[in-house]
A and B are shown apart, each in its own frame.
Chain A
């Protein structure tokens, strides 16, 4: 079993993981104005000022600083040479936007400096910084919103194989023009509403975050990762019934691998984006497997959809729930899509909490589930 420890996070709810968790269990909603330090922008504010270049790319001591790097710097463990895995949607596209902006405004491509160009090409500002501060090249994993869950799984596999003894998993994503506009045009973000697993008021609120966990085999952890499973349907969305089957298989596989029964699961952190397709699918599968017996929650009504960091935040919450037996409530309006045991309005304290299931999914049709144990 892989031992897991929460280390730190910066989210729209707080500048540390501790403050984020406290806000979650209090049922607070992200407050864009209260967290300026994290450079969080509300969606409307962001879209109305599409030119975010000034926000995005600045030079400091000859180094380029992007929003993703600002987030990363808040949580990075300096002088750590542990193998690292980064889950991201590759949203650090600010340098590219900066470059395009210059050319669209009439600058000749010839006038662009090598450094600008290189950053724009590679989206590697965070990577370069991590190489310099941690003296190690991290492994980047990009599977859209399931990225940091896959990164966690990769880290666990490498420990299981004996390749590493301890590793760090980061989930990181910053808001960017490209990301925000894309979600808005897909009509799944933009109304600034998010009511996970609730019907009628569908919508997704894009957020940004960075978080880090440590995984090890021998060091005592706050909880352990007992099993995981991953599935994919590359034709995601074409056949909803098939997607139900695939997510169902994914969850059952992780339960089987953990050597437990479905009713051993004490709490579920759903992906719960607030979007119609995802939430109907997840609600159906959870109802099929768990009926209304297992408490279910999603943190995206509070924290927003933090894209590549969403998976690791779910995992961190699972560990806090195992430690404290507290399960935060879903923030949002409307009735549950299915009659599952969705925690509403107020956090609850579970009578017992031994196993917690986390679910994640992402563009491209990836589904991932992990089971954590006390």
Chain B
């Protein structure tokens, strides 16, 4: 997989993070055990996993995207430490454990026995885990890999994002797939449906082919666009020209994806 990206990307967003009230409802209705101790991104992944058909394999691994998906947990940990003191923090919420906490939670459900880990830290984390899956399967390390991508941001950070006109908002969603083939392509990846969350009446929906039905590229936030839905989104971007405003090339070369982004350079925070 060859990926290049121009610096200083900027993608518009209309997705808002879900409210605390909505979150409570989701957690309650999910009936996930010990949900109150889990990062919200993990809850979203667990919900997405329910929509994914189980795959029987002898050797199973789990890869999860890195980046800011655990910021709610780190934020909470840091806030408690600074406000209430070091003895009041929840040890399960510190970065060194939450990094592997998500794939570990998913790994426990699917019976992972080869590895669980988080890969990547930038917008292309999801592509990296697809690429890494290919190599792991090619090297006969594992038979099936569950890949997880979810995002959840904190209200405080979203406020700052908004104020600074980054035009990026932290929506909440999750996507999961099982990789079983040496060649990663459209047919070899089984995606679960995106777990859609109501956001002021706007939701993401996929049709039964995994295509986004009701959302324009411009309406996705940075991490929804790249880390979470990037693969599906780009697949669809090829076929629907009106969504290609900011993606110039997306083609396949020798069974690999070559994706070139030329995105308007409108921000300069680097």
- Residues of chain A touching chain B, judged by Cβ–Cβ distance below 8 Å, are 47, 50-51, 89-91, 93, 96-97, 99-101, 103-104, 109-110, 112-115, 117-118, 120-124, 127-128, 137, 139-144, 147, 150, 154, 157-158, 160-161, 163, 176-179, 181-186, 230-236, 246, 307, 362-366
Tell me, yes or no, whether B32 is within 8 Å of chain A by CB. no
- 10 closest A-B pairs by CB: A182-B94, A364-B100, A234-B107, A185-B91, A143-B117, A364-B104, A234-B108, A100-B78, A121-B68, A142-B118
User: Are A120 and B157 in touch, CB under 8 angstroms?
Assistant: yes
What residues of chain A lie closer than 8 Å to B124, measured between beta carbons?
A: 137
User: Are B78 and A96 in touch, CB under 8 angstroms?
Assistant: yes
- Within B29-77, the residues touching A (CB, 8 Å) are 61-62, 66-68, 71, 74-75, 77
User: Are B136 and A109 in touch, CB under 8 angstroms?
Assistant: no
Q: A122-B121, A143-B100, A185-B91 are in contact. List 20 more A-B contacts (CB 8 A).
A: A47-B86, A93-B95, A114-B164, A122-B67, A123-B68, A137-B122, A142-B118, A147-B117, A161-B138, A178-B96, A181-B77, A183-B91, A231-B113, A232-B107, A232-B114, A234-B104, A235-B108, A307-B96, A362-B100, A364-B104
What residues of chain A lie closer than 8 Å to B90, measured between beta carbons?
A: 185
A184 to B96, CA, bound (A): 12
Tell me, yes or no, whether B156 is within 8 Å of chain A by CB. yes
User: Are B135 and A144 in touch, CB under 8 angstroms?
Assistant: no
Closest Cβ neighbor of B71 among chain A residues:
A121
What residues of chain B lie closer than 8 Å to A115, measured between beta carbons?
A: 269
User: Are A178 and B94 in touch, CB under 8 angstroms?
Assistant: yes
User: Are A50 and B86 in touch, CB under 8 angstroms?
Assistant: yes
Closest Cβ neighbor of B119 among chain A residues:
A141
Interface centre among B77, B105, B116 (most CB of A within 10 A): B116
User: Are B164 and A112 in touch, CB under 8 angstroms?
Assistant: yes
Closest Cβ neighbor of B136 among chain A residues:
A157
A11 to B121, CA, bound (A): 24
Tell me, yes or no, whether B160 is within 8 Å of chain A by CB. yes
Closest Cβ neighbor of B110 among chain A residues:
A234
Closest Cβ neighbor of B78 among chain A residues:
A100
Count of chain A to chain B residue pairs whose CB atoms are closer than 8 Å in the complex: 211
Tell me, yes or no, whether B183 is within 8 Å of chain A by CB. no
User: Are A231 and B114 in touch, CB under 8 angstroms?
Assistant: yes
Tell me, yes or no, whether B185 is within 8 Å of chain A by CB. no
What residues of chain A lie closer than 8 Å to B166, measured between beta carbons?
A: 114, 117-118
Query: Chain A nearest CB: distance from B161 CB in Å?
Result: 6
User: Are A182 and B97 in touch, CB under 8 angstroms?
Assistant: yes
What residues of chain B lie closer than 8 Å to A235, measured between beta carbons?
A: 108
Tell me, yes or no, whether B261 is within 8 Å of chain A by CB. no
User: Are B115 and A90 in touch, CB under 8 angstroms?
Assistant: no
Q: Which of B78, B122, B138 contacts A127 (CB 8 A)?
A: B122
Query: Chain B nearest CB: distance from A157 CB in Å?
Result: 5
A64 to B15, CA, bound (A): 30
A231 to B47, CA, bound (A): 26
| Given A50-B86, A100-B78, A109:B163 Cβ within 8 A | yes
User: Are A140 and B95 in touch, CB under 8 angstroms?
Assistant: no
What residues of chain B lie closer than 8 Å to A158, measured between beta carbons?
A: 135
User: Are A143 and B135 in touch, CB under 8 angstroms?
Assistant: no
Q: Place the interface of chain B in its size category.
A: 35 or more
Interface centre among A104, A139, A231 (most CB of B within 10 A): A139
- Within B85-140, the residues touching A (CB, 8 Å) are 86-87, 89-91, 93-97, 99-101, 103-105, 107-108, 112-122, 124, 128, 132, 135-136, 138-139
Tell me, yes or no, whether B81 is within 8 Å of chain A by CB. yes
User: Are B89 and A181 in touch, CB under 8 angstroms?
Assistant: yes
Query: Chain B nearest CB: distance from A90 CB in Å?
Result: 5
What residues of chain A lie closer than 8 Å to B97, measured between beta carbons?
A: 144, 182, 186, 363-364
User: Are B95 and A182 in touch, CB under 8 angstroms?
Assistant: yes
User: Are A100 and B75 in touch, CB under 8 angstroms?
Assistant: yes
| Given A117-B164, A176-B95, A143:B108 Cβ within 8 A | no
A117 to B247, CA, bound (A): 26
A30 to B114, CA, bound (A): 34
Closest Cβ neighbor of A173 among chain B residues:
B96
Interface centre among A93, A142, A365 (most CB of B within 10 A): A142
| Given A109-B159, A112-B164, A118:B95 Cβ within 8 A | no
User: Are A113 and B91 in touch, CB under 8 angstroms?
Assistant: no
Query: Chain B nearest CB: distance from A254 CB in Å?
Result: 12
Closest Cβ neighbor of A229 among chain B residues:
B141
User: Are A103 and B99 in touch, CB under 8 angstroms?
Assistant: no
| Given A137-B122, A140-B120, A364-B107, A230:B99 Cβ within 8 A | no
A246 to B166, CA, bound (A): 47
A80 to B23, CA, bound (A): 46
What residues of chain A lie closer than 8 Å to B120, measured between beta carbons?
A: 139-140
What residues of chain A lie closer than 8 Å to B99, measured between beta carbons?
A: 89-90, 142, 144, 363
What residues of chain B lie closer than 8 Å to A143, measured between beta carbons?
A: 100, 115-118
| Given A161-B135, A181-B89, A96:B75 Cβ within 8 A | yes
User: Are A104 and B82 in touch, CB under 8 angstroms?
Assistant: yes
- 28 interchain pairs (CB within 8 A)? A51-B82, A91-B96, A93-B74, A97-B78, A100-B82, A104-B82, A110-B163, A112-B160, A117-B160, A121-B67, A123-B67, A142-B66, A142-B100, A143-B115, A147-B117, A150-B115, A157-B135, A177-B78, A178-B77, A178-B95, A179-B95, A181-B81, A181-B94, A185-B87, A235-B108, A236-B104, A364-B103, A364-B116
